[in-house]
Structure 1
Amino acid sequence: MKTIGIIGRPNVGKSTLFNRLAGRRIAIVDDMPGVTRDRIEFTVEWMGRHFRLVDTAGFDLKEEIVKKEMQRQFRNSLEEADLLILMVDARDGLHPLDEIVCDMLREEGKNFFVVANKVDSDSLENAAYEFFSLGVEHVYNISATHGRNIDQLLDVIIEYLPEDDGVEPDYKDRIKILVTGRPNVGKSSMVNCWLGEERVIVTNIPGTTRDAIDTVFDYEGGRYVLIDTAGIRRKSVMFKDKIEKYGYFRWEDAVERSDIAVCIMDAVEGITERDVKVIADAWEAGRPVVLVLNKWDAVQNRDEAAKKIRSDLDFKLQFLSDSPVIYASAVSGKNSFKIFEAVQGLYADYTKRIKTSELNELLQEAQERHQPPVIRNRRLKFFYMTQVASAPPQFVIFVNYPEAVHFSYQRFIINLIKERYGFKGIPIRLYLRKRGDKKED
């Protein structure tokens, strides 16, 4: 499958075009330059053809550490792309950075064409003529915000693609792994360790990652989508910054479309209140959690540290159900790939289905072991149980008085399900529904 990259200087509308072509809001969009930092990818389908679309950081010449990392990602994108869209701003006119990027593409021998954005009306069509001074044959006028001429742009892209451009990779048969945690615990470093390349920007500055970044990854027969997310701080802090607020909403979306959450924590600092909150949010959303203590190679007195961490896990994360714990290092790579063994095990139970006949046998056993109480001179009656969904597993029990079933009895049944069928480390949902007893009614 061919890769199409969108490049240009900051704030010309690259992410807006990316979202428009993708048909959904994936990249964070704001008027502030430099919002996009990492490469963001999405598979686009048009007229039965598929291509991989890549949004990149804007090219500029500033020297800050994050800017330097962004430009390194920009150059990596140039190398990987088969075709590049050089995006310019029709309202601002020709900019020196536009000329620099254009010259760079020619030196690299890359195939590209120029797209003038922000041509929102017919009166602005002539504004794009000055971009022909870049020495290109065509300049395509669009408005990414309003969708103007987007269909024509897609037709142009398809013309550049060969007939055998491949088929869209099916995300449905891949395990979607949410890589989450508070800022500066090594989430992006861990993703780069798995990929064997510096795919996402890593600095010691909190908040470097802003978008939720999807990367397709295969390992030892396993097929995954890695979703690197922004570090999660308290809402009261994140919502003071508009971009961080967008990052939080992207994180919520990423949780919803993930299968397994890998929560990265700093082994040197230990388990903090913020770690617990991030883990609890993923668990409450119905996602199994792999607990990863990163930077284990930097820990002193590891035996004592492991005891302290285990004690904290038992005390602070009592709501979890035997989630796997891995002590790893993204820097050295130690135990980093054991995470995928844990993910595979969780996913097998996460998607498991139990026959209704077996569940009803289990329900009968539960009542024999602990008889339901009498409510209002009538005994609770459990009629039958069935599994209505997986990922996460969801069970429904039909009973004559659902509101009278104490949570402790519900927990007893959930524990019995786990005792019989596993579901270790899996959040199970149990619902009670009313069904009347015709003889008594």
Structure 2
Amino acid sequence: MGWGIPQSEGAPVTELAKPIVAVVGRPNVGKSTLVNRILGRREAVVQDQPGVTRDRVSYDANWNGREFVLVDTGGWMSDAKGMAAAIAEQAELAISMADAVLFVVDATVGTTDEDEAVVRVLRRSKKPVVLAANKVDDQRHEALAATMWNLGLGEPYPVSAMHGRGSGDLLDALLDSIPEAPREQDVEEAGPRRVAIVGKPNVGKSSLLNKLADQQRVVVSDVSGTTVDPVDEIVEVGGQVYRLIDTAGIRRRVKEASGHEYYASLRTQAAIERAEVCIMVVDASEPLTDQDLRILSSIEEAGRALVIAFNKWDLTDEERRRYLEREIERDLVAFRWAPTVNISALTGRNVDKLSKAIEAAAAGWETRISTGKLNAFLGRLAAAHPHPVRGGKQPRILFGTQAQTSPPTFALFTSGQMDATYLRFIERRLREDFGFVGSPVHVEIRAREKRKDR
């Protein structure tokens, strides 16, 4: 790894503009193996058991200098009832968020009814499709790939995900099918700020969207997880205009989700990626759960600005509020930087206050510190609190720069590796001095290489 510094303000725009490719196909055709082959690293979970779904489903990929996002949609359970209908529904959700589709079939098996069901959805979607005829491990199997012409999706590309055979031609075809920038997201950059409403099922996300949009556009029901489709709404909150992305509830674990819920959780992750600010809706009347914390972590990992909305405040009594305070101190200590608003989506209480919190979080997310100011701060910090001596050596900060905003990311060039606790201390002090309300702060260490001529 070199010392190259990531791009500055432009970086998040580039990230959002990456085209999305959905990898679809029935179980055990080798989707995950092919994803790993494209990534050049073993990252997607691969198992012989059909229908293994995973927590992590989107990956950054690069081919010939072009970047794109691969979404591995997992296998479908082959014994599901009404297979063709179920596959059609699931594939539709996965495909709708993509710019292009990589459809993987098993050349050694030939086309099946399940493959045909997916083809019908692909035709309806009008998305560009690249057909990968997998498991063509040698020349003898080439003829099997040719039989896939009968799917009517154009040329089948014979590949062996296992051995890498034919993957270069496949990727060239895939790059030809995905759009060059600008994409829709680039246009959106100049539009209203994008805000995703996220949270586990049944915390009142749709009620909040309805209250903000002031009209019943989204299906709301007491049945947990009713909303399965993100619905974008342009709304005005407290005098500010936003593009609100409503998302289906993230299930307890993606592994436990089935069918449309699994794909809805994919869409949720995609909505977080698309958003600039995420409103995390928490049910204040119930104890905080691991699921709440997992969603908060995924927002932080995605580097998005965050506002926490404690909903159903009208259902909390004095005792519950006392408990909630303790839960916040204990469980949300890592997210103290996020502004919080106590709301009732049903009655509309404090909903207008969300605007102030969104603006504060967005401002923190976009904050830039000049290199001069940053190094003066680092100099004061190191003088007052030098890094502890480790193994007879004391690593020093030589120079610091803000590599990018959205979220604020700092590159510190040092004389050696630094302890994680010291990095957390630097992050805490950065927040105390410069704010960064509502935004994750990333600090990266670039340790100087030892000179070999000594």
Same fold (TM over 0.5): yes
For 1:348 and 1:298, locate their aligned partners in 2 and report how far apart those are by CA, in whole Å. Answer: 32
* CA apart distance, 1:269: 2.0
Partner residue, 1:255 = 272
Partner residue, 1:206 = 224
**What amino acid does structure 2 have at the position aligned with 1:368?**
A
The answer on whether the counterparts of 2:337 and 2:437 sit within 8 Å (CA) in structure 1 is yes
Q: Secondary structure at the match of 1:292?
A: strand
Q: Secondary structure at the match of 2:265?
A: helix
2:433 aligned to which of 415, 420, 433: 420
2:207 aligned to which of 189, 197, 212: 189
- Cα deviation, 1:173-209, whole Å, max 9, x if unaligned, reads 3322111111111101100100010111111112211
Partner residue, 1:128 = none
Q: Secondary structure at the match of 2:220?
A: coil
Partner residue, 1:223 = 241
Moved more, 188-197 or 336-345: 336-345
For 2:274 and 2:220, locate their aligned partners in 1 and report how far apart those are by CA, in whole Å. Answer: 24
The answer on whether the counterparts of 2:254 and 2:262 sit within 8 Å (CA) in structure 1 is no
**What amino acid does structure 1 have at the position aligned with 2:248?**
A
* CA apart distance, 1:430: 0.3
For 2:243 and 2:202, locate their aligned partners in 1 and report how far apart those are by CA, in whole Å. Answer: 22
Gaps of 5+ in 1: 1-23, 37-41, 43-90, 92-115, 120-144, 148-166
The answer on whether the counterparts of 1:238 and 1:248 sit within 8 Å (CA) in structure 2 is no
Q: 1:330 to 1:282 in 2, by over 3 A?
A: same
* CA apart distance, 1:211: 2.2
The answer on whether the counterparts of 2:413 and 2:445 sit within 8 Å (CA) in structure 1 is yes
For 2:419 and 2:208, locate their aligned partners in 1 and report how far apart those are by CA, in whole Å. Answer: 43
The answer on whether the counterparts of 1:396 and 1:431 sit within 8 Å (CA) in structure 2 is yes
**What amino acid does structure 1 have at the position aligned with 2:333?**
Q
Q: Secondary structure at the match of 2:344?
A: coil
2:447 aligned to which of 421, 434, 438: 434
For 2:240 and 2:328, locate their aligned partners in 1 and report how far apart those are by CA, in whole Å. Answer: 29
Partner residue, 1:335 = 350
* CA apart distance, 1:376: 4.4
1:276 aligned to which of 265, 269, 293: 293
- Cα deviation, 1:352-377, whole Å, max 9, x if unaligned, reads 11101111101101111112233444
- Cα deviation, 1:3-24, whole Å, max 9, x if unaligned, reads xxxxxxxxxxxxxxxxxxxxx9
Q: 1:231 to 1:364 in 2, by over 3 A?
A: same
Q: 1:400 to 1:329 in 2, by over 3 A?
A: same
Moved more, 182-191 or 276-285: 276-285
TM-score (norm 2): 0.58
Are 1:361 and 2:373 counterparts? no
Are 1:410 and 2:411 counterparts? no
Q: Secondary structure at the match of 2:307?
A: strand
Partner residue, 1:68 = none
Partner residue, 2:367 = 352
Partner residue, 2:261 = 244
For 1:431 and 1:25, locate their aligned partners in 2 and report how far apart those are by CA, in whole Å. Answer: 26
- Cα deviation, 1:230-281, whole Å, max 9, x if unaligned, reads 1112226643x12111111111111112112111122222322322222222
For 2:415 and 2:70, locate their aligned partners in 1 and report how far apart those are by CA, in whole Å. Answer: 46
Partner residue, 1:372 = 387
Gaps of 5+ in 2: 1-68, 74-82, 91-95, 97-115, 117-122, 127-151, 155-183
**What amino acid does structure 2 have at the position aligned with 1:293?**
F
2:85 aligned to which of 12, 27, 32: 32
* Paired-residue identity, %: 30
* CA apart distance, 1:414: 1.1
* CA apart distance, 1:378: 3.7
For 1:219 and 1:211, locate their aligned partners in 2 and report how far apart those are by CA, in whole Å. Answer: 22
Are 1:319 and 2:334 counterparts? yes
**What amino acid does structure 1 have at the position aligned with 2:431?**
K
Taking the TM superposition and a 5 Å limit, the aligned residue runs for 1:283-298 are 283-298=300-315
For 2:449 and 2:282, locate their aligned partners in 1 and report how far apart those are by CA, in whole Å. Answer: 49
Taking the TM superposition and a 5 Å limit, the aligned residue runs for 1:119-134 are none
Are 1:232 and 2:250 counterparts? yes
**What amino acid does structure 1 have at the position aligned with 2:297?**
A
* CA apart distance, 1:317: 1.6
* CA apart distance, 1:321: 2.7
The answer on whether the counterparts of 1:180 and 1:187 sit within 8 Å (CA) in structure 2 is yes
Q: Which has the larger radius of gyration?
A: 1
For 1:385 and 1:117, locate their aligned partners in 2 and report how far apart those are by CA, in whole Å. Answer: 52
Q: Secondary structure at the match of 1:215?
A: strand
Q: Secondary structure at the match of 1:397?
A: strand
The answer on whether the counterparts of 1:207 and 1:231 sit within 8 Å (CA) in structure 2 is yes
TM-score (norm 1): 0.60
- Cα deviation, 1:278-305, whole Å, max 9, x if unaligned, reads 2222223222322212122233x2x332
For 1:223 and 1:265, locate their aligned partners in 2 and report how far apart those are by CA, in whole Å. Answer: 23
- Cα deviation, 1:8-57, whole Å, max 9, x if unaligned, reads xxxxxxxxxxxxxxxx999x9x9538959xxxxx9xxxxxxxxxxxxxxx
Partner residue, 1:54 = none
